């Protein structure tokens, strides 16, 4: 159905080995929305992202994508469904050049030419550095490369984990301008961030995670009000 959320988690439990990290997470990302996933260190934001991208199995509960029950799906299959994630630390290959990184991301789905066109049109700085090793790019340039790798494959859903990590405030602003543009193009976006102030202005909805649970969901304004209490109550 057209109004099915693009992502829907119901009562999701997930564990790292013997240690359960998610204790029944409910989370809804409406199609076309930007949702901020907030919470302190260790709240389970990254684990939630991994469940959605099929990198971690659900031990109980369900995952639906566009209304379809896909609990137990693999990362390859979620990618095929248009779910694309930029992990914390960006997931680029330091010992490969910019072009080689784009080539790996292109895989069999897209041509390298198409990937490069999208990337360099959006980030001319990457074009100038196409033969530079990714590991020697600045933090901001690495994030541009990570975003380019995702964008070239035309994702329906983008999962962005701590996009702002290690970046200068101006670069963070630049990155979030790109995110705004993508949202305007209709890409659904889930943004995990520890620092609410950075992402709340961009978000249509916000979800607050504490200790492996989504404790609150609401408008950015509502969640902003909740935040101090949640953090202080830790």
List residues binding ligand ATP (CB under 6 A): 16, 19, 21, 39, 41-47, 88, 194
For the bound state, the minimum distance from the C-beta of residue 49 to ligand ATP, rounded and expressed in Å, comes to 8
Query: Please, which residue, 41 or 76, has the CB nearer to ligand ATP?
Result: 41
Query: Please, which residue, 151 or 196, has the CB nearer to ligand ATP?
Result: 196
Strands (E), 4-88: 7-16, 19-29, 34-38, 60-65, 68-69, 83-86
Strands (E), the chain: 7-16, 19-29, 34-38, 60-65, 68-69, 83-86, 157-161, 188-193, 205-210, 213-218
Check if the beta carbon of residue 192 is closer than 8 Å to that of residue 2. no
For the bound state, the minimum distance from the C-beta of residue 130 to ligand ATP, rounded and expressed in Å, comes to 31
For the bound state, the minimum distance from the C-beta of residue 48 to ligand ATP, rounded and expressed in Å, comes to 7
Query: Please, which residue, 11 or 42, has the CB nearer to ligand ATP?
Result: 42
For the bound state, the minimum distance from the C-beta of residue 208 to ligand ATP, rounded and expressed in Å, comes to 11
Q: Tell me the torsion sign for CA atoms 198, 84, 121, 35.
A: negative
Instruction: Report phi then psi at 61, rounded to 5.
Output: 100, -175
Query: Please, which residue, 16 or 109, has the CB nearer to ligand ATP?
Result: 16
């Amino acid at each position: 159905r057209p109004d099915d959320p693009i992502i829907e988690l119901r009562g999701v439990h997930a564990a790292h080995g013997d240690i359960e990290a998610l204790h029944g997470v409910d989370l809804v990302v409406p199609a076309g929305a930007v949702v901020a996933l907030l919470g302190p260190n260790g709240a389970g934001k990254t684990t939630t992202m991994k469940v959605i991208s099929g990198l971690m199995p659900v031990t109980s509960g369900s995952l639906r994508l566009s209304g379809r029950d896909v609990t137990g799906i693999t990362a390859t299959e979620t990618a095929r469904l248009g779910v694309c994630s930029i992990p914390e630390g960006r997931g680029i290959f330091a010992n490969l050049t910019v072009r080689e990184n784009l080539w790996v991301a292109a895989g069999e789905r897209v041509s390298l030419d198409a990937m490069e066109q999208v990337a360099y049109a959006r980030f001319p700085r990457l074009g100038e550095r196409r033969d530079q090793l990714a590991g020697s790019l600045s933090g901001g340039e690495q994030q541009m490369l990570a975003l380019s790798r995702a964008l070239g494959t035309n994702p329906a859903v983008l999962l962005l984990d701590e996009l702002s990590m290690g970046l200068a405030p101006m670069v963070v602003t630049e990155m979030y301008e790109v995110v705004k543009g993508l949202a305007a193009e209709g890409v659904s976006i889930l943004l995990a961030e520890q620092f609410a102030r950075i992402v709340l202005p961009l978000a249509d909805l916000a979800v607050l995670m504490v200790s492996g649970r989504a404790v609150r969901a609401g408008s950015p304004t509502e969640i902003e009000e909740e935040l101090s209490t949640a953090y202080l109550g830790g």
